[in-house]
């Protein structure tokens, strides 16, 4: 799966605010994700991000 800046993705576990949707604001060794529910930004290693993302809403065929 390939991800681009600005893609909206869904994760397995929801953020504490209840949203499962995140916008990718940075890719590379680390992924930066912005919660679409509350705007909170998290950074996680690429491998962990790839495991927790279940669907790319912006590009479902990626």
**Residue numbers at the binding site for Zn ion (CB under 5 A):** 15, 17, 19, 35, 37-38, 40
Q: Closest separation between CB of residue 26 and Zn ion, Å?
A: 17
How far is residue 41's CA from residue 48's CA, in Å, rounded to a whole number? 15
Q: For residue 50, what is the enclosing H or E element?
A: helix 46-52
- Kindly tell me which of 48 and 62 has the beta carbon lying closer to Zn ion: 48
Which is it for strands 41-45 and 30-35: parallel, antiparallel or unpaired?
A: antiparallel
Q: Closest separation between CB of residue 14 and Zn ion, Å?
A: 8
- Kindly tell me which of 54 and 62 has the beta carbon lying closer to Zn ion: 54
């Amino acid at each position: 799966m390939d991800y681009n800046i600005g893609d909206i993705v869904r994760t397995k576990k929801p953020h504490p605010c209840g949203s499962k949707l995140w916008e990718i604001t940075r890719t590379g060794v680390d992924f930066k994700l912005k919660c679409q529910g509350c705007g909170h930004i998290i950074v996680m290693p690429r491998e962990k991000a790839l495991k927790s993302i279940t669907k790319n809403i912006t590009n479902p065929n990626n």
